[in-house]
Amino acid sequence: MTTEANMEVDPVNPAFAKAWEQGICKPPSVAIRTLHNVINRYLAVTRPREAEGLSGANIDIICYLARHADCDVFPQDVERRFGITRSTSSRVLSLMERKGLVVRKPVPQDARLKKIVLTDKARGINDALHSNAVAMEALLLQGLTDDEIRGFMHTLDVMQTNLIQTGAIGNENRYSSLALHAEEIDESQAEETGKEQ
């Protein structure tokens, strides 16, 4: 699929293009995909004991619900977030309910609506997964300076924006990295340093 935006793209440095074609090094998209796969494999083999036996979908939903614990989440929110049908959402949430991971609770304004709430068991799983992910991020970024991390995150944002601006995939701005919020990170770090002193 070719779009007008794709036709106006500046050409890549011929030396890079030649190196990629000859297999001397990976193109950025392949390197990113490879890193993504390595991260997923690492997280799978270091998965906390608490999460053993859970499907990737169960883990994704637990993490999603934990991140949105301060607001009501309904089955249709899960459907939208994960791009699944109502029947799939119903089946997955029912299985999670049987496993003791979620409960469906009526909301005061409409008893027909049932929000999805994590159980204590699922919150414990989320905490273990979060700790594992934080440790993996520290390992992943080992040896990089703060400026290198910010630069890398900025690079990822630019690459994503380049693809989004073609219009071929819609306006998907929900995956922005923290590079756009560098000032907020610096302010937060300054506050933490002030508390320690």
Q: Would residue 89 be called left, alpha or beta, if left means φ above 0 and alpha means ψ between -120 and 50 degrees?
A: alpha
Burial of 82 (0-12, 13-18, 19+ CB in 10 A): middle
Rounded CA-CA distance 129/135 in Å is: 10
pLDDT digit of tens for each residue in the chain (197 aa)? 444 544 467 788 888 888 788 888 888 999 999 999 999 899 889 999 999 889 888 999 999 999 999 999 999 999 999 888 999 999 999 999 999 999 999 988 887 889 999 999 999 999 999 999 999 999 999 999 999 999 999 998 888 888 888 878 766 555 555 444 555 556 666 666 666 65
C-alpha distances in angstroms, 95 versus 86, 98, 132? 14, 5, 25
HSE-CB at 86 with a 13 A cutoff on CA atoms is 1
Amino acid at 20: W
pLDDT of residue 77: 93
Q: List, in order, residues 6 or more apart from 42 with CB less than 8 Å away.
A: 136
Contacts of 149 by beta carbon, 8 Å cutoff, 6+ apart: 141
What is the per-residue pLDDT for 190? 65
Q: Distance (Å, rounded) from C-alpha 77 to C-alpha 116?
A: 10
